[in-house]
Amino acid sequence: MLVEALRAEQVEVIFGYPGGAILPVYDALYQCGIPHILTRHEQGAIHAAEGYARVTGRPGVVIATSGPGATNLVTGITDAMMDSLPLVIFTGQVATSVIGTDAFQEASVLGITMPITKHSYQVQDVNQLPAVIKEAFHIASTGRPGPVLIDLPKDIANASGKFDYAAPVRIPGYQPTVVPNALQIRKVAAALRAAKRPLILAGAGVLHARASDWLHQLIDTIQAPITNTLLGLGSFPGDHPLFLGMAGMHGTYAANMAIYECDLLLNIGARFDDRLTGNLQHFARHATVIHIDIDPAEIGKNVPTDIPVVGDAGEALRMLLNEDLTMGSIQDWVDHVQEMARSNPFWYAPDDERLKPQRLVEIVHEQCGGDAIVVTDVGQHQMWAAQYFPFRQPNRWVTSGGLGTMGFGLPAAIGAQIGRRDVPVFAIVGDGGFQMTMQELAVLVDYQIPVKVVLVNNRSLGMVRQWQELFYERRYSESLIPVQPDFVKLSEAFGIPAYVAKNEAEANAMIRRALETPGPVLVDCHVPSRENVYPMVPPGAGIHEMVGVKP
């Protein structure tokens, strides 16, 4: 029944790792026709499913066994919950007769994961299984997307029953508001018309709603400046003249000052997290705040909202475009923020001898002509990728935003490449995070997945080291990694070609060679250990109090 349900849901691929309690499911999957990717760790499986979900918009499917198999998924489930990614997760469980007896490989996965899933089930009757699976896919992919877990006791997985998948999903307590209130949309339009210094803030909710074209139409209509959150990058073309760049802790000066100075902030699909807002006392303090979000719990949670709009970002934008959006003159405001952007671009000190990580990201962008999916791990390299790779299309940017999960990058790149085999995928990873999940290199070889791994090797936990330098009097407690493995030999041991780049010329040559080489490639890029990410909003500071804006 499980296989039939997965077929009914048109599941394209499963990521997973077998074990004792889930063996009945794996036996059913044997030669079922649905491709299965055997990762080398359950954490790899769930991050791969996240990468797949991020670039396709479809639920990623994960299977793991009971006990440690299930608990190894916990980080990825939390990551997906924080970043609103649709996953359907099947975990094995000990037989119903021994649940609660501390049986071998038993863990209360329902109890462990309840706060980090959108919903969770433990199937007690095999005849419930089709309805549970159908509900799980529905819940995971509607409203605000998120992970849904189905715990399968072994005796239930071994049982058989009648497969009936025809009944529609009816969940009285779960009715997401998709279409916004028309009166609220009219209020938004009126506020826009009255604004002198409007600013649009677009988050990942625009991407989840596949509403980038509508967002572009809105900006074309009102000619207001726009900024993105970290996860919203790509929802609007990064090279558009009205785009101010990413806002937040490591965003652009222009974007952050525009938030500080605007008299109207229209937030579409972002959740006002603390890395975006900085000190809330100074965030958009002069502005009428409008918040459009599919999740009503997010509205007013962190930032007081003047005009709340609950609904799908795409529906809201379509309705808004049908209103009168004749704006007053805002040219002085636009000129002002564009001048701030021109005068305060991202900067770094070029170095002829050493490879600067910012230049490395630029080289990746140049070599692929901007036409690639970029997946990162977490840390300095993540911020440099966000700053220096101008994303022009939606769903080309995959990163761990909310949870900030080191080890995310490589397996997420595997899932992204499986989801989009027609687009080159770069996994830009740091040496710290890479060593958390580097065993997944085997998956690249096993399934001939042509991910190009760009290892930003600064022999340290770079962001930790940066914070220790700036805020802990340079006491580098356990953040430096002077002894590293030979990443080239390591990669070659997995059967993956690998190269080293230590300066700009070598980086250009090696990234080009990586693109020309079929299959996976790793480029070990040696960058200075003491390079910092600037500009930066210090902890506790307002968004307008950035440091490192100028060299």
Catalytic residue among 104, 124, 196, 331: 104
Give yes or no for a contact between 215 and 206, defined as CB atoms under 8 angstroms apart: yes
Q: Give the model confidence (pLDDT) of 457-471 as tens digits.
A: 999 999 999 999 999
Q: Which ranges constitute the DSSP H helices of 371-529? A: 380-388, 409-419, 431-437, 441-446, 462-471, 487-493, 504-516
Q: Give the model confidence (pLDDT) of 78-95 as tens digits.
A: 999 999 999 999 999 999
Residue 141: how many other CB atoms lie within 10 Å:
19
Active site residue 187: no
In this structure, what are the phi and psi dihedrals at residue 377, rounded to the nearest 5 degrees?
-85, -145
What is the mean predicted confidence (pLDDT) over 169-198? 97
Catalytic residue among 1, 15, 50, 154: 154
Confidence at residue 352, expressed as pLDDT on a 0 to 100 scale: 87
Active site residue 134: no
Q: Give the model confidence (pLDDT) of 28-58 as tens digits.
A: 999 899 999 999 999 999 999 999 999 999 9
157 exposed, middle or buried (CB, 10 Å; 0-12, 13-18, 19+)?
Answer: buried
Catalytic residue among 1, 9, 42, 531: 42
Active site residue 438: no
CA-to-CA dists, residue 139 to 74, 84, 86, 117, 496, angstroms: 19, 12, 9, 11, 39
| Confidence grade of residue 514 (pLDDT, cut at 50, 70, 90) | very high
Active site residue 331: no
User: DSSP 3-state assignment of 344?
Assistant: coil
Active site residue 154: yes
What is the mean predicted confidence (pLDDT) over 70-81? 98
Catalytic residue among 257, 436, 463, 536: 463
Residue 212: how many other CB atoms lie within 10 Å:
22
